[in-house]
Amino acid sequence: MIPAAQSLAARRIAALAPIIPVLVVNDAADAKPLAEALIKGGLPALEVTLRTPAALEVIAEMAQVAGGVVGAGTLLTPKDVENAKAAGAMFGVSPGVTQRLIDACSANELPLLPGAATATEVMALFEQGFDMLKFFPAEASGGASALKAIGAPIPQVSFCPTGGVTPENATVYLNLPNVICAGGSWVAPTSAIIAGDWGEITRLAADAAALR
């Protein structure tokens, strides 16, 4: 899968809903009900971060839930890509990017949403064929005003801002012409996951799905 094809696939996934939940899940037993709650609320694209020992098992469980498109976040190495693909990930997300990571995603047929925070990084990825990127860390990198400024000379590239995106500022990002969706963790708070309050997560997801 060449970068342009990876980017096209990532763009289609990004367009499924205005928010992609960024999920940190510690117990694989929570995977299916969490995915079901988010999908029921209108958020089918799910990013499971590789930050817990259970992450790959969580991906494997969520990949079996009808209507969902599960991806692996925090891809850092080619081994992460291989493990995520083997677990059933349908796309990958990285905080930044290296050539080895791009090559690994190509070899494993895994659509990639690579991270970029500067105009130089955006140009370098666009030159390779990526026109759908993750803007990370969004708030720390200047927020919506920085992303708007990048979009002026590089309107061909679209983004999923992640990092500091909240219900309060999400619409500011989503109203930018170069933003397709945003990534946020607030739709699946740890407290609700631990409590098994799937109804609350569905409510949060429905509110997020209505953003624009």
Counting other chains too, the contacts that 51-55 makes at CB distance below 8 Å and 24 or more residues apart are 51/24, 52/24, 52/25, 52/26, 54/25, 54/26, 54/27, 54/28, 55/25
Angstrom distance (rounded) from CA 159 to CA 105 = 19
Amino acid at 200: E
Q: Is 47 a catalytic residue?
A: yes
CB 51 within 8 A of CB 21: no
Half-sphere exposure of 46 (CA within 13 A, CB side): 37
Residue of 36, 61, 85, 134 marked active site: 134
Residue of 36, 47, 61, 85 marked active site: 47
Show the tokens assigned to 26: 């510690």
Task: Tell me the pairing of strands 115-116 and 112-113.
Answer: unpaired
Q: Is 32 a catalytic residue?
A: no
The residue assigned the tokens 């037993």 is: 29
- Nearest 5°: phi and psi at 132? -135, 110
Q: Which residues are catalytic?
A: 47, 134
